[in-house]
Amino acid sequence: MKTASAGVIGILTGGGDVPGLNPAIRAVTIRAIREGYKVIGIRRGWAGLTDILRDKNADNSNNFQELTEEVVNKAGRTGGTFIHTSRTNPSKIKKNDVPEHLRSAYSAERNDLTPEVLKNLDYLGIDTLIPIGGDDTLSYGVRLYKEGVKVVAIPKTMDNDVPGTDYCIGFSTCITRTIALTNSLRTTAGSHERFLVLEVFGRYAGFTAILPTMAGAAHRCVIPEYKFNIEHLAELLSADRSRNPSRYSVVLVSEGATFEGGDMIFENSMTDAYGHAKLGGIGDLVSAELKNQSPKFNKGQTVDILTQKLGYMVRGGDPDAIDSIVPMAFGNLALDLVLKGVHGRLVVLKNGRYDNMPLDVVTASKKLVDVNHFYDIERYRPIYENFEMKPLFIMTGE
């Protein structure tokens, strides 16, 4: 084991929490320490780098902590992120969110605190930064790389929509939980002979709806990539229900799915630091409309609805096997790049093999379900064919 310090590595997690973040942090930290690095965990995502007081006497414990093998081993098997997270984007800080000690210098309605982030990285002595997040979090990593910061990124998002990689940390656990929760709710749907409508995550990409449906968890799914006709959906679900001896049918609804002629459904007008309004409520609207439409296809009788928003139930708790193994590999891949002096890269899983890509792939394109190849627009369900030589999770967005 090396005893001399090889440098300082900073790690942060941004955006929504998912199972698998702590195993990734653990993998980077243990390997880095054994290679002679000091490892600093930036707390609360990019927020932890915006309000540091650059004074040796200041209490910055809310912003960062030194990571040790003991600390990461305790957290490494658990879900969530023990260094916490946020949706802060330092290049778009609202006036009221500017740290108090910076308000005299940053007083616009929206403020770019990147100069402060760069100073804070220098103050902490961080040589290399490893952000773990989705395309929003990593897009700011691209910004810092262009500013001269050494960045190696790890993709994370339940939606599996970070471009450049077939897999993002959190996706497998999300799919596993979606299937399990759907199967649990089948008994109630069948007991009452209802339509079961489950709203799942997926703002722009429908992977979290289409993969569980492909695995047999649901009869139908509607996804952001294709606007659906509610009357046709009611007809399909009614036919599924009538064929089912237990007299129920199931549809998974992506939170970003939209009716023909409609737009995304938002909970309110508030937006996060990345400019996204909080989605929510499409499941309730679909349920109400299905109930209204159901008599047309059920001999004049209304079909009642069981509605559930799976939400945080699929992102909480411990990681499954894949979200324990892949983060370990991603963390070690990131460290390999650091040791080689290679930066500006995103570690990825492509066609069943680990690799890395230029970091700016996360801002150069969008990763969406290829409707022509994987989604039947007449039947509102996946296409079950041509799986030969496809990767583990079938759809890659390429």
Q: What is the pLDDT of residue 181?
A: 97
Q: Indicate the helix (H) or strand (E) that contains 132.
A: strand 128-133
Check if the beta carbon of residue 66 is closer than 8 Å to that of residue 73: no
Q: Is the dihedral of CA 197, 198, 200, 205 positive or negative?
A: negative
Q: Which CATH architecture has domain 172-310+371-382?
A: 3-Layer(aba) Sandwich (3.40)
Token duo for residue 144 = 């810092």
The strands making up 128-133's β-sheet, listed across from edge to edge, are 64-66, 37-42, 7-13, 128-133, 150-155, 345-350, 353-358
Q: What is the pLDDT of residue 280?
A: 61
Q: Which CATH architecture has domain 7-169+319-364?
A: 3-Layer(aba) Sandwich (3.40)
Q: Which residues of the chain have pLDDT under 70?
A: 1-4, 264, 266-280, 397-398
Q: What is the mean pLDDT of the chain?
A: 93
Q: What is the pLDDT of residue 2?
A: 41
Q: What is the pLDDT of residue 271?
A: 58
pTM above 0.75, yes or no: yes
Q: What is the pLDDT of residue 392?
A: 87
Check if the beta carbon of residue 88 is closer than 8 Å to that of residue 45: yes
Same topology, domains 7-169+319-364 and 172-310+371-382? Answer is yes
Domain boundaries along the sequence of the chain: 7-169+319-364, 172-310+371-382
Catalytic residue ranges: 159
Q: Which residue, among 173, 153, 179, has the nearest Cα to 165 in the 3D structure?
A: 153
pLDDT in tens, 30-89: 999 999 999 999 999 999 999 999 999 999 999 999 999 999 998 988 999 999 999 999
